[in-house]
Amino acid sequence: MIFKQDNLNRIMSILNESQEKANVFREGPAPLTLEEKRAFVESLRTFSQLGESVYSKRQLEETVSKIEQMVETAQRHVNESSDDVVETTAAGRHFKYMSEALKEFKKAATEVIINERKCAQAYEDIAEGLKKYYDIG
């Protein structure tokens, strides 16, 4: 990965800072260890790969659509193929429960999709903030 010269200098200065640096007169976090600094630099290099898990590729929306289509087709098929009144009544009850479950599934999936979009936006905001100081990968 090619870093901008200014960003490269910042990263190198992070790695080269003395570990003996101490917070004598103020309370606060302990200075970063060399291992923590190296892990941070590596995390900057792999930041964009984390985005792959944040961005949904519409898989959930497609899954909901496919399941909805299956339930509708199954209901039509059972209604068409059954001549027995008792069987039709029992199937009607089963499909009523299935339809309610489908409604709950769609509602929950919609909430997940909304939250995935919120996560994606927050991820982009974090990326913009990091880009101000570092060249992230």
Is 136 within the bounds of a domain? no
Judgement on whether residues 96 and 34 belong to the same structural domain of the protein: no
Phi-psi region of 31 (alpha: psi -120 to 50; beta: other; left: phi over 0): beta
Confidence of residue 125 (pLDDT cuts 50, 70, 90): very high
96 pLDDT tier (thresholds 50, 70, 90):
very high
User: Do 38 and 78 belong to one domain?
Assistant: no
Domain that holds residue 99: 57-130
Tell me if 135 is assigned to some domain.
no
pLDDT of the residue at 19: 45
The confidence band for 6, taking pLDDT boundaries of 50, 70 and 90, is low
For residue 137, being part of any structural domain is answered with no
Angle in degrees, 0-180, between the axes of helices 47-54 and 85-131, rounded to the nearest 10: 160
Predicted pLDDT of residue 1: 45
Specify burial of residue 104 (Cβ count, 10 A radius: 0-12, 13-18, 19+).
Answer: exposed
Number of domains in the chain: 2
